Amino acid sequence: MKLDTKDFEIRMQKSIDAYKNELSTLRAGRATPDVLSRITVDYYGSPTPINGVAAVSVSDARTLAIQPWDPSTLKAIERAILSSDLGITPLNDGKVIRLIFPQLTEERRREMAKQISKLGEGAKVAVRNIRRDANDKVKALKKDGEMTEDEVKTSDKLVQDLTDKYIREIDKVTELKNKEIMEI
């Protein structure tokens, strides 16, 4: 009996998906609606994501247009953006809010590259923690006499191969994002 790695593989994939999602919310000098995904608006007493109360579109490479379905929410959306960590002042013309993303400076690009690397390390730690859980399960199965020494070695190799695969994927995603940041 070797260890069934399916659960651990699913958890590792979820770690990578969470990392990719986190990267998509970074403001990279290029307009993308994903940067607004964590900002909520007080909409009739309940916190609602901006894309739940307005149409968000990319006007050009550096401009986002936010057009609320209910014009009375315009001020609330503007307040939510101002109080967020986005760092962009919204332009309100009475019907549409525009966010103009400034060109990134070289210093800001380097900061973002460091931030991306830090997030990547966090994703790697999550994958390694899952590896530890898998190895603990293998040890428990051996202790209970459900696995032989050879099966333990095979399972350990499977878990390590899985970990290496996901660590390489994290490195690839990090490298692509850093390359994107440096080219903007």
Segments making up each domain of the chain, as ranges? 6-24+105-183, 33-100
Supply the pTM of this predicted model: 0.69
DSSP state of 179: H
Listed residue (168, 123, 131) closest to 22, CA to CA:
123
Q: What is the pLDDT of residues 105-116, one digit of tens each?
A: 788 788 888 888
6-24+105-183 belongs to which homologous superfamily?
Ribosome-recycling factor (1.10.132.20)
Q: What tens digit of pLDDT does each residue of 91-139 get? A: 888 888 888 877 777 887 888 888 889 999 999 999 999 999 999 999 9
Architecture of domain 33-100: 2-Layer Sandwich (3.30)
Tokens, residue 159: 């878990």
